[in-house]
Amino acid sequence: MSDYAAHPNLTVLPASGQVRGLMTIIRNVETRRNDFIFYSDRLTRLLVEKSLELLPVFPKSVVTPLSLPYDGVGFEGKICAVSIMRAGESMEKPVREVCKKIRVGKILIQRNEETAEPVVYYSKLPSDIGRRWVFLLDPMLATGGSAREAIRILLEAGVREDHLIFINLLACPEGLHTIFNTFPQVRVVTGAVDEGLNDRAYIVPGLGDFGDRYFGT
Ligand code: PRP
Ligand code: URA
C-alpha cells in the first residue's frame, strides 16, 4: 500500500498536543460514552474549521468602528453537509456549531457485518446540491466502500468532484487508496491516518466501532 502522507488531496490535522490529547481520549477503551461524545465533537469542530480553509475567498474591504478601512476577504460559494448514516450523523451537531444554518443531506449506508461490503438504503439531498461545496461526513474511513458509494450518489446528483470534501476523524491507507484512485479530485480532511485494517476490516489501532460508542448501542 502506498504512503499517502504526502498526497496533495489529503489534509491531516497537525498532531498538536491538543489533537493528540483528544485522540488519546477517544481511542481509550475505558472512555465513557459522554466523554467520547464530548471529545469527538471537539475533534469534528477542528476538522470542519480545517476544511473551511480549503474554500475560496474573495477580496472584501470594510470600514472599522474607527472609520478606517480594512482590506479583508469574504467567503465565496455556498456549502452544505451530507452525512453517511448512522455514524456520520454524529458529526452534524458540531458542523452546525461552526457553519450557521448549514443545510444537511443524508445517505443511509450500512456495511454488511460479515463481508464489510456497503449497502445503500436511502438518500435525501438538498435540491440545489450541484451548485454547492459539499462536506461529506463520516467519522471512519476503513475500506472506503461506504464513502465510495456515497460519493457516487453525490456525483449522480450533480455535485462537482472538485467541490467535494470528505471529512473523517480516522482514516487508513486502504480507504485513502480507494477514494483517491476512484475520485482523483475529491479531497479528504482527517484527524489521523492509522496503520491499516484487521481481518474484520476494522481500523487498527483505531477506536473500535464509532457508531456504537457514540450512540451507545
Ligand atoms: C462504519 C463507519 C463508516 C463505515 C466505514 O459504518 O461509520 O460508514 O463503517 O467502513 P468502510 O470504509 O469499510 O465502508 P457502519 O456500516 O458500521 O454503520 P454505522 O454507521 O451504523 O456504525
Ligand atoms: N467502522 C468503525 O466504526 N470502525 C472501524 O474501525 C471501521 C469501520
* Multiple choice CATH, 13-215, 1.10.150.120, 3.40.50.12170, 1.20.1730.10, 3.40.50.2020: 3.40.50.2020
pTM for this entry: 0.95
Rounded Cα distance, 155 and 207, in Å: 30
State yes or no: is 209 an active-site residue: yes
State yes or no: is 199 an active-site residue: no
Rounded Cα distance, 127 and 106, in Å: 12
Q: How many angstroms does the Cα of residue 184 sit away from the middle of ligand 1?
A: 22
Tens-digit pLDDT profile for the chain (217 aa)? Answer: 457 778 999 999 999 999 999 999 999 999 999 999 999 999 999 999 999 999 999 999 999 999 999 999 999 989 999 999 999 999 999 999 999 999 999 999 998 888 888 998 999 999 999 999 999 999 999 999 999 999 999 999 999 999 999 999 999 999 999 999 999 999 999 999 999 999 999 999 999 999 999 999 8
Identify the pLDDT of residue 4.
78
Rounded Cα distance, 188 and 195, in Å: 17
> β-strand 203-204 against 196-197: which pairing, if any?
antiparallel
Helix, strand or coil, per DSSP, at residue 191: coil
Helix, strand or coil, per DSSP, at residue 93: helix
Residue boundaries of the structural domains of the chain:
13-215
Query: What's phi and psi for 76, nearest 5 deg?
Result: -105, 140
Q: How many angstroms does the Cα of residue 69 sit away from the middle of ligand 1?
A: 49
| Minimum CA distance residue for ligand 2 atom 7 | 202
Q: Is the CB of 84 under 6 A from ligand 1?
A: yes
Identify the pLDDT of residue 2.
53
State yes or no: is 115 an active-site residue: yes
